[in-house]
């Protein structure tokens, strides 16, 4: 799992499966970053994720509560249909903004790297 | 045709993934849609997680418990699946502390452990992803969660194409 700070955003690359077993580690590590670094927004990247249960909702809601009082926002990227269903069912889509990256932008990282 | 399987495993979080994958493998030959597969896996994951963290109050959740092989966890979770044609019945049972008020526990967002930062959506997810849900529990008597789902309803759509 990767945690990375870009500008004032904490980027969290989530694992393949998000369940209670994984949740503790993600929450603890994320909170350590929130405490130590100057983080305003949190971005959850679901690119690798193939499974998520309600533990994932807890992870996102918990982080949202921690940063929203300082005006921070929570975003989700690379959200597939299954995960979007879970977002809708839990009402999380009212709190988290799902960013759909246009196809043209998705290859940008590799382009930037080659320079 | 009737087909049945039963697994019993230690109530530790390492086994949450194992349980849902085992059930998924059991129904794989029915050609479930991706959605049905995800529904079943999520529901099993919710029920098993509930048994582990509420039934047995094993709250750690990660850290690959450094247990001796000699030492066997006293709490067990039993997952039983019965497949009758395309009807899948799943029973997740534990002999943990049980639920005082089942009706209350099933309310969305209700949780007895807000400090765990979990969502309180476990039963709501089981209800939403399965066709039927039944919970039998009493304090000190453990909990049995019974779920039913029809699998392979998508297959005739595939045939059309």
CATH at residue A40: 3.30.750.24
B78 is catalytic: no
pLDDT at A102 over 90: no
Residue A85 is part of which domain span?
A: 2-114
What is the reported pLDDT for B150? 95
Q: Smallest CA–CA separation between A32 and chain B, in Å?
A: 16
Which domains does chain B possess?
A: 2-64+74-160 (3.30.565.10)
Residue B119 in contact with partner chain A when CB distance is under 8 A: yes
At B14-28, the pLDDT tens digits run: 899 999 999 999 999
Tokens of A112: 């930037």
What is the reported pLDDT for A83? 94
In chain B, residues 12-31 whose CB comes closer than 8 Å to chain A: 13-14, 16-17, 20
B57 is catalytic: no
Q: Name the catalytic one among B118, B127, B136, B146.
A: B118
Tokens of A37: 């670094």
Q: What is the tally of structural domains in chain A?
A: 1
Chain centroid to CA A71: 17
- A111 Cβ contact list (under 8 Å, min separation 6): none
CB pairs under 8 A between A and B: 76
B119 neighbors A61 (Cβ within 8 angstroms): yes
Binned at pLDDT 50, 70 and 90, residue B156 comes out as low
Binned at pLDDT 50, 70 and 90, residue B73 comes out as low
A77 neighbors A47 (Cβ within 8 angstroms): yes
């Amino acid at each position: 799992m990767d945690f990375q700070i870009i500008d004032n955003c904490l980027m969290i690359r989530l694992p393949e499966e998000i369940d209670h077993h994984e949740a503790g580690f993600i929450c603890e590590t994320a909170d350590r970053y929130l405490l130590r670094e100057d983080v305003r927004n949190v971005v959850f990247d679901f690119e690798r994720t193939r499974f998520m249960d309600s533990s994932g909702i807890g992870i996102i809601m918990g982080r949202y509560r921690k940063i929203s009082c300082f005006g921070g926002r929570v975003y989700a990227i690379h959200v597939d249909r299954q995960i979007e269903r879970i977002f809708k069912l839990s009402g999380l889509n009212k709190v988290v903004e799902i960013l759909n990256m246009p196809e043209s932008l998705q290859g940008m990282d590799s382009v930037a790297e080659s320079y | 045709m009737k087909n049945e399987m039963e697994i019993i495993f230690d109530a530790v979080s390492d086994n949450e993934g194992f349980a849902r994958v085992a059930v998924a493998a059991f129904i794989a030959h029915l050609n479930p849609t991706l959605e049905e597969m995800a529904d079943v896996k999520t529901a099993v994951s919710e029920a098993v997680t509930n048994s582990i963290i509420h039934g047995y109050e094993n709250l750690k959740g990660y850290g690959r418990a450094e247990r001796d092989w000699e030492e066997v966890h006293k709490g067990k979770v039993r997952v039983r699946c019965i497949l009758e044609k395309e009807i899948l019945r799943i029973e997740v049972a534990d002999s943990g502390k049980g639920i005082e008020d089942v009706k209350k526990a099933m309310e969305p967002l209700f949780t007895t452990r807000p400090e765990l930062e979990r969502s309180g959506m476990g039963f709501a997810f089981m209800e939403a992803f399965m066709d039927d849900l039944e919970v039998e529990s009493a304090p000190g008597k453990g909990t049995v969660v019974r779920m039913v789902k029809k699998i392979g309803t998508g297959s005739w759509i595939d045939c059309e194409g």
